[in-house]
Amino acid sequence: MIIDDIKNFLVEKNLRPIAVNAERISLYYQDREEGYYALLVLDCPMGSEFTAQQYQNIKRQIYESLVRNSTKRIYIHTILVTENTSAASRITEKEAESWIIDTGSFRLIIYENQRYDFIGIRRAMEDFLLKEYLPYAENEEENMPYEAIRPTKKSTLSRYFSPVNTSIVLLNILVFLVINTLLPVRTEDILVTKGALSWRDILENGEYYRLATYMFLHSGTDHLTNNMIVLLFIGDNLERAIGRWKYLIVYLGAGILAGGASILHNMIEYNNIISIGASGAIFGVVGAMAYIVIANRGRLENISTAQLVLFVIFSLYGGLTSQGVDNAAHIGGLISGFILAAVIYRRQKKSHIGMGGNYED
């Protein structure tokens, strides 16, 4: 049976089983230096074997039991093994610390708001399901949630390139190519001048659209390339962590607020200059990522607090020691992104579960 194969797979991945005196409930753990990681596996083929309240009671009991036996921070993640994904998703209410294994199509389902990985087993589990079971399900067509990550050949690119962030990168490249290759030089100058940040034009002429257009304009190939490389890496991680629409809000919101910081600074200093580039919005993405890494206690996927701090320090230092860099936009974007993430990102609280022999209804 697939549930037995999954249990064996987890043991092979160095997860140690914990005896639980309850049907359809299995518990595994890894004891690491940074914390105690527990993986709860619920065998619910019909999706109605547990209610949401029962599930929360199970988690609470397990958590309380683990806390009594460990002084480390407890991390708990749940995997539902089911053929009825719609019903099963109501058990955990699609909380961030849960996944579903669909035994009908033999795929791992991870919703948009859910943890992308847990102790490094996601990719191995997807490969395990592909190798062991997918050949038997080649002719089955299942209606899957649009936000699910499905380990098929068609979804390979989506594992590495998130849709909104990739679209923003492509839009920046397209705008640059159109302006710099298809338009006459004079037209190019007019477009850049008309779309750039300028506190006089915004405040005196009411050209507020510049707060949005400036972040899609770049001064040259190097300017564009440097910004897009950083955005591809950081932006992809952020979008996976918070979802596409929240990511779009952070990117555009931080970019606009970064532009506001820039024009405020230049107005106070009476600098009659214009600014272009996506770096203000990108610093907003970095700021948002910093908040989320902190909210996730120091790490998210392959990014740690130390890595982000070093990136921010080197980036700001490079800007402060270089000519022609809009540091006000960078700092404004960084702070704005952090604040926006604090407002819109709600990290699911760890479910508190326990290892009791019975669970309450």
Q: 267 and 188 in one domain?
A: yes
Question: Which residues, 6+ apart, have CB-to-CB distance to 174 below 8 Å?
Answer: none
Which of 8-12, 111-115, 122-126 shows the lowest per-residue confidence on average (mean pLDDT)? 111-115
* Model pLDDT for residues 290-338, shown as the tens digit of each residue: 888 887 766 555 556 666 677 767 666 655 555 567 888 899 999 999 9
Active-site annotation holds for 265:
no
Q: 215 and 148 in one domain?
A: no
Q: 43 and 92 in one domain?
A: yes
For the chain, what is the domain count? 2
Catalytic residue among 26, 89, 198, 330, which? Answer: 330
Who has greater pLDDT, 326 or 228?
Answer: 228
Instruction: Give the pLDDT band (50/70/90) at residue 183.
Output: confident
- Whether residue 250 is contained in a domain is answered as yes
Q: 195 and 151 in one domain?
A: no
Q: What is the mean pLDDT of the segment spanning 187-196?
A: 76
Instruction: Give the pLDDT band (50/70/90) at residue 147.
Output: very low
pLDDT at 259 over 90: yes
List the one residue out of 59, 111, 112 whose CA is nearest residue 89: 111
The sign of the torsion formed by the CA atoms of 51, 297, 300, 315 equals: positive
Active-site annotation holds for 98:
no
State the residue for tokens 């899957």: 144
**H or E, element range at 28:** strand 25-32
- Whether residue 148 is contained in a domain is answered as yes
Q: 168 and 132 in one domain?
A: no
Q: 167 and 131 in one domain?
A: no
Q: 74 and 11 in one domain?
A: yes
Who has greater pLDDT, 277 or 150?
Answer: 277
Q: What's the rounded Cα separation, in Å, for the pair 292 and 287?
A: 9
- Whether residue 354 is contained in a domain is answered as no
pLDDT at 68 over 90: no
User: From residue 349, how far is each of 33, 52, 75, 246, 282 by CA, in Å?
Assistant: 22, 15, 10, 19, 28
| Residue at which a domain ends, from 131, 159, 187 | 159
Question: Which residues, 6+ apart, have CB-to-CB distance to 123 below 8 Å?
Answer: 117
Q: 16 and 43 in one domain?
A: yes
Strand pairing report for 25-32 and 74-82: unpaired
Residue type, 340: L
| Residue at which a domain ends, from 135, 159, 183 | 159
State the residue for tokens 């740690």: 304
Who has greater pLDDT, 239 or 171?
Answer: 171
| Residue at which a domain ends, from 105, 138, 159 | 159
- Whether residue 355 is contained in a domain is answered as no
CB-CB contact of 26 with 355 (8 Å): no
- Domain extent, residue 239, equals 163-344
Q: 307 and 264 in one domain?
A: yes
- Whether residue 42 is contained in a domain is answered as yes
Q: 152 and 47 in one domain?
A: yes
Q: 299 and 193 in one domain?
A: yes
Q: 124 and 63 in one domain?
A: yes
The CATH number covering residue 315 comes to 1.20.1540.10
**What are 197's two structure tokens?**
């940040």
Catalytic residue among 198, 279, 336, 351, which? Answer: 279
- Whether residue 351 is contained in a domain is answered as no
CB-CB contact of 98 with 104 (8 Å): no
SS3 82: strand
- Whether residue 350 is contained in a domain is answered as no
What percent of the chain has pLDDT above 70? 79
- Whether residue 359 is contained in a domain is answered as no
For the entire predicted model, the pTM comes to: 0.57
